Amino acid sequence: MPEFSDVALPVPLDMVFTYHVPAEASPVAGGRVLVPFRQQRLTGIVVELHDRKPSVKTKSILSVLDASPVLDEQLLRLGRWIADYYLAPLGEVFRSMLPLNAEFKRAVAYRIGKEGQTALHLAGMSGSSRRSQRTPEEQAAEFRVLDYLAAQESAPGEIVHVREQTLRSATGVSKVVLGGMVRKKWISRADVSAVRDATRTIKVALLNSADGKLNENQRTMVETLAASGGRLPVETLQALEVPRTTLGTLAKRGLIEIIEEPADFAVSRSKPRSSRLPFDFNSAQQAALQRLREAVDARTFAGILLHGVTGSGKTAVYLAGMRAVLDAGRSAILLVPEIGLTPAVAADLHQIFGDEVAILHSALSDKERAQHWHRIKSGDARIVVGTRSAVFAPVSDLALIIVDEEHDSSYKQEEAPRYHARDVAVMRAKMANAVVVAGSATPSLESYYNAKKHKYALVELPDRVEQRPLPEVEIVDMREEFQKTGQEQVISRKLSAEIKERFDRKEQVMVLLNRRGYSPVVLCRTCGKTLECQNCAIALTHHKREQKMICHYCGYTASVPQACVHCGSEYVYFLGTGSEKLEELLHGMFPQARIARLDRDTVRGHEDFERTLNALSDGELDLLVGTQMIAKGHDIHGVTLVGVIGADSALGLPDFRAAERTFQLLTQVAGRAGRGIAPGKVILQTYFQDHYAVQYAAHHDFAGFYEKELRFRNWMHYPPYSALANVIIRSHLLDEALHWSGTLGRWFEQNRHEGVRVLGPAASPILRLKRDYRYHFVLKSPSREKLNGTLRAMLAYASHQKIPRTQVIVDVDALWLM
């Protein structure tokens, strides 16, 4: 066994750490080890075993947690690529790749040491000489610990470690006292942390309940077991308000038995809606599937951009492709956006793929996630469907990765490591000689550009299924509406008339307003100030039903002001409209209509989301109002009208992606109309009716929009023509944020970075967020190597200047510059 091990630890430092490998240990590359780090013990991943003696003294590995790698060679390589590309610490990358935290049970234990035994012995001989400078209470506590530990080691030569929790509850001493005893070697401490196998559950089985002589606690336990069929997970019984020793007593008396069983798992608990296989494909779908299958069979890397208009049946192509992969005995991963993975979708997938599918979504507990991970790792599940991090699923013989709605921003992780799952999917497919399919009705500029440059094959589904037409879009100019009606309108006369018409025909309507809450701004007419969040430079939003002012960035809440908090004036006005107010307005206009709202305030989980959509689908609702959540790819046939209110507000933001996002949102929401037999219509209310994003969306002219937007990006040196990174310097203290960003600004100025443009430092558009003051730099370069080289040098300089690594955020390929 090599003498040293390089370990990647989940700490914000761009390095790996070398540890000594103890004689009896045999760590493996890609496996987990427990190591001492500063005052803590951390789990890390072994990245290399070697015999190169480091110049500094090394500590030893405490324990080896895996006998075989949890990250295979390919995933280790993928992790290194992410660390390098996104300038993220390797240990933090590995932590995001492995959902195995639940498996690891941290524990320390103690045993009595030689000095402790001597102390105990001396005290026994001289009777009352338990004397020192310590208080009598401290002494008494220490001797309670010694007595307890000595009592455990009754047989000579026996080594008994007592877990800290047990020792403390038996003796009532604090951690401080134990620490003091360790220092003077009266007792010794050992790490007894262990990996619990998540694929197995420890259960308690009832053997005999007939014994009459039970105390109250014992009876509670026996009755609980009997009531649930005589078998329960041990955690369930430990959660009862019964002393923990009860379980042991019952086992000793032979009334119960502790057993280990494979853990139950459920792919899905909902009933499938309908079988989606076999599919009835049109010729474009057939051609797309054929293309996909040929690429998979070639067993070499290929990228495909599947551009299909809304309602063109992309999902059916994905599922048929994955089914073919499974039938060939290989593996596939389907990535879906955050909100898309509802219980009904899971049930459908279960129907198609049986128990060979693993579904990873955000509602899973850590333990369930670990169970699915093991099912995938063992090869029991070869089809994986999940959100962002499912791209790291440990499948073997990967043949296909599909990224559905590849333009969706939930694929970008907005905390370290700030990776984009679509781009990671492409890299993983390259490493595995697999095929990656990025699918969307509104591809990102990056993917469209790659297809134009022939890096990806472009496959199009130009028509809706069954030749249904795309909806007609009518633009309503809200400036004109204001001139004609003499007041600011939320719902134009045109939209109102069209809604009424649909209700008369018993058809359904969706109305989009991409802003939640009741009123987005509270303004004082006397001093002109707004009510801002305490932690962020952001106006608080009024939420009427909750009777609160809420910050949408950090969650801070305040009571609804009766008077101005700045000057005390009573003339406070609630301005603007959010989805909550829109729902109220629509109720007022159409009192007979059944109206529901879909946004982050009404949807707490996937179940809420699905319940509302099912109600719409089953005809129990006439109108659904909501934020962009209503625009996400669901398929409801009764909706013939979509109203869009202020969807273009993003066009006013200082962000180069504003036009792209607006085009995508307008196209996606328009795509909800007319998916059934009756044709659809879209009313698009706007203050920017001449803006090209609005015009091209209204004409369903994808190519037109992309060509125009690409020209603009090229001209402004923005992605996809330049690699871009946003560097944010943050601190709770304004002075510090200014000082650090000034220091880095001077460094950028004094060190010419050929081929890299640096803008800033400038105040971030949101200057203060979650208590941090924020300044930023935007770096652009046509060369990714040069960009990353500059960023790496900047981080080294920042570290040299003692700017904490956590206060410098490097966001490579940033989606937001706010």
Residue numbers at the binding site for Zn ion (CB under 5 A): 524, 526-527, 533, 535-536, 551, 553-554, 556, 564, 566-567, 569
Residue 543 backbone phi and psi in degrees, to 5: -110, 110
CB of 232 to Zn ion, least distance (A): 44
CB of 771 to Zn ion, least distance (A): 8
Which one, 561 or 755, has the nearer CB to Zn ion?
561
Residue 128 backbone phi and psi in degrees, to 5: -105, 20
Which one, 242 or 767, has the nearer CB to Zn ion?
767
Token pair, residue 349, equals 């997938």
Which one, 81 or 553, has the nearer CB to Zn ion?
553
Which one, 566 or 611, has the nearer CB to Zn ion?
566
Which one, 277 or 567, has the nearer CB to Zn ion?
567
Which one, 532 or 660, has the nearer CB to Zn ion?
532
Tell me how far apart the alpha carbons of residues 748 and 401 are, in angstroms, rounded to a whole number.
40
Within 10 A of 14 (CB to CB), how many other CB atoms are there? 17
Give the angle subtended at the CA of 88 by the CAs of 86 and 90, to the nearest 5°. 125
CB of 808 to Zn ion, least distance (A): 22
Which one, 418 or 552, has the nearer CB to Zn ion?
552
Token pair, residue 181, equals 């005893």
CB of 715 to Zn ion, least distance (A): 36
Angle between helices 90-97 and 73-85 (to 10 degrees): 130
Side-chain-facing half-sphere of 76: CA atoms under 13 Å: 17
Which one, 131 or 732, has the nearer CB to Zn ion?
732
Strand order in the sheet with 808-812: 757-769, 772-781, 723-731, 808-812
Give the pairing type, strands 435-440 and 398-404: parallel
Side-chain-facing half-sphere of 447: CA atoms under 13 Å: 29
Question: What does R_g of the chain's alpha carbons equal in angstroms?
Answer: 31
Which one, 332 or 536, has the nearer CB to Zn ion?
536
Are 626 and 599 in contact, with CB atoms under 8 Å apart? yes
CA distances from 187 to 115, 149, 182 (A): 8, 9, 5
CB of 731 to Zn ion, least distance (A): 17
CB of 710 to Zn ion, least distance (A): 36
CB of 554 to Zn ion, least distance (A): 3
Token pair, residue 119, equals 């102390």
Closest by CA position to 343, among listed 609, 615, 624, 633:
609
Which one, 159 or 567, has the nearer CB to Zn ion?
567
CB of 417 to Zn ion, least distance (A): 25
Which one, 551 or 698, has the nearer CB to Zn ion?
551
CB of 526 to Zn ion, least distance (A): 5
CA distances from 634 to 599, 616, 671 (A): 15, 11, 10
Which one, 195 or 554, has the nearer CB to Zn ion?
554
Which one, 240 or 818, has the nearer CB to Zn ion?
818
CB of 488 to Zn ion, least distance (A): 23
Ranges of beta strands (E only) in 115-156 are none
H/E element holding 695?
helix 692-698
CA distances from 20 to 3, 5, 31, 635, 644 (A): 6, 6, 16, 58, 63
What string of H, E and C letters represents the secondary structure of 609-668? HHHHHHHHHCCCCCEEEECHHHHCCCCCCCEEEEEEECCCHHHHCCCCCHHHHHHHHHHH
Q: In the beta sheet, which residues pair with residue 777?
A: 727
Strand order in the sheet with 623-626: 472-477, 681-686, 639-645, 508-512, 623-626, 595-598
Are 725 and 779 in contact, with CB atoms under 8 Å apart? yes
Which one, 566 or 753, has the nearer CB to Zn ion?
566
CB of 551 to Zn ion, least distance (A): 3
Token pair, residue 586, equals 């629509």
CB of 550 to Zn ion, least distance (A): 9
Which one, 355 or 571, has the nearer CB to Zn ion?
571
Tell me how far apart the alpha carbons of residues 578 and 514 are, in angstroms, rounded to a whole number.
8
Tell me how far apart the alpha carbons of residues 762 and 544 are, in angstroms, rounded to a whole number.
36
Which one, 527 or 796, has the nearer CB to Zn ion?
527
**Which three-class secondary structure state does DSSP give residue 13?**
coil
Closest by CA position to 434, among listed 402, 403, 400:
400
CB of 565 to Zn ion, least distance (A): 8
Token pair, residue 330, equals 């290989």
**Block residue for tokens 């669901």:** 634
Token pair, residue 409, equals 């921003």
CB of 671 to Zn ion, least distance (A): 33
> Cβ neighbours of residue 782 under 8 Å, at least 6 residues apart?
717, 721, 722, 723, 755
What string of H, E and C letters represents the secondary structure of 797-809? HHHHCCCCHHHEE
CB of 698 to Zn ion, least distance (A): 36
Residue 559: exposure state from Cβ atoms within 10 A (0-12, 13-18, ≥19) = exposed
CA distances from 46 to 144, 228, 417 (A): 41, 44, 19
CB of 569 to Zn ion, least distance (A): 5
Which one, 770 or 805, has the nearer CB to Zn ion?
770
CB of 535 to Zn ion, least distance (A): 4
Closest by CA position to 92, among listed 45, 60, 46:
45
Which one, 527 or 762, has the nearer CB to Zn ion?
527
Tell me how far apart the alpha carbons of residues 328 and 299 are, in angstroms, rounded to a whole number.
12
Looking at residue 469, what DSSP letter applies?
A: P
CB of 607 to Zn ion, least distance (A): 28
